[in-house]
Amino acid sequence: MPETNLFSVQQVMIRYGMSIYYSLGIVGNVCNCIMFTRPNYRYTPSSTYFLFLSIFAIIYLTWAMIPLFQSLNYTDPQTQILFYCKIRLYFGHILGQCIRCVVVYACIDRYIVTQANVHIRSMSSIRTAVKLVFTTLLVLFIIAIHMPILMDIRNGVCGMFGLYKLIYAFYQLTLVALLPPVLMIIFSFLTIRTLHQRHGNQIRARRRDRYLMRMLIAEVLVNILTSIPYSANLVYGAATYYTDKSTERQEIESFITFCTQFLGYLISVAPFYLFFSISKPFRDEFISLVFKQWHQKRRRQVRVIPTNEQHSMLPL
């Protein structure tokens, strides 16, 4: 019998909090896909990275959250079917890493396009961005192959056990919590420094780049805030794996793990709302697009005017 009501709180968070997360995330990322395929954005590599970010986020949210919703009313197959246990966490990890890598590449691209050297700037292209993203996806499948090999189900729990739990914690800490944020911070700082060194005749370019940098910096902050707590919790769990724990402590730690995962989904939900609030050009174009679609719909409705004609029966 549970010693705390934390499991009930967790169920409520899944039913209502995750539902809001999922709805906002899908709507926001679909809006991102529409915006980054618009003429003003589709021809820049950074926008290509943001487009991939939104596509991966839609897939990630669906892959991660639909099974959670199902577990509210039915038995979670992840705790019973070993193959599903391995594949679900394996694919979820890869999709999350793809999102982080795409943000890193966008930061690097912003740094490249602000360089004065033409040969360096030529490295930034949509073709390069597409190749890099698909290559990264393939590499991540290989790097994370240890997950479906070593994961297991024990006592109704799908996860990592024994020595692998400690190894995975440091793997997660390195490749999720440290490496991507550090690269984001380094290239963001270098880009900002380059922009400040530009001359006055490039004010317009500087303004345009500044808005893109604001969007990227916001993404960097979200990645840091969401990645570190989850990875730190993994390290704590691995370090205390062989410690005797009461039922109450286990329930508390399980709830904290869920909260760090709940926070981690923010990387897939927040992008559109960050872009909308931070970038004035992005916000203005999105609002303009919405009003344009609304006016077109109104005009179509006005053109189709039904006529109510009354026909009288004439005696023969």
Alpha-carbon Rg of the chain, whole angstroms?
25
Give the pLDDT confidence score for residue 316 in this predicted structure.
40
Q: Which residue has the tokens 């691995």?
A: 238
| Options 3.10.450.50, 1.20.1070.10, 3.40.1010.10, 1.10.10.60; CATH of 7-281 | 1.20.1070.10
Q: Are 212 and 46 in contact (CB under 8 A)?
A: yes
Range list of H helices, the chain? 6-12, 19-35, 45-71, 82-113, 118-121, 126-143, 146-150, 163-172, 179-196, 203-239, 247-264, 266-269, 271-278, 280-303
pLDDT above 70 (res 283): yes
Instruction: Give 142's pLDDT tier (boundaries 50, 70, 90).
Output: very high
* Distance of alpha carbon 220 from alpha carbon 181, whole angstroms: 7
Q: How far is CA 294 from CA 35, 42, 287, 298, 301, in A?
A: 16, 23, 11, 6, 11
Say if residue 115 is exposed, middle or buried (CB neighbours under 10 Å; 0-12, 13-18, 19+): middle
* Distance of alpha carbon 51 from alpha carbon 220, whole angstroms: 16
**What's the mean pLDDT when you consider all of the chain?**
85
pLDDT, mean of residues 231-247: 83
* Distance of alpha carbon 115 from alpha carbon 100, whole angstroms: 24
Angle made by CA atoms 92, 266, 240, in degrees to the nearest 5: 65
pLDDT above 50 (res 248): yes
* Distance of alpha carbon 17 from alpha carbon 305, whole angstroms: 44
* Nearest Cα residue to 159 out of 93, 247, 60: 93
Q: Which two tokens stand for residue 256?
A: 């904290």
pLDDT above 90 (res 227): no
Which sequence spans correspond to the domains of the chain? 7-281
Q: Are 238 and 169 in contact (CB under 8 A)?
A: yes
pLDDT, mean of residues 67-84: 89
Instruction: Give 313's pLDDT tier (boundaries 50, 70, 90).
Output: very low
Q: Which two tokens stand for residue 176?
A: 């999720």
Q: Which residue has the tokens 């993404």?
A: 219
Give the pLDDT confidence score for residue 302 in this predicted structure.
67
* Distance of alpha carbon 183 from alpha carbon 206, whole angstroms: 22
Identify the top-confidence range among 103-107, 178-182, 186-190: 103-107
Instruction: Give 152's pLDDT tier (boundaries 50, 70, 90).
Output: very high
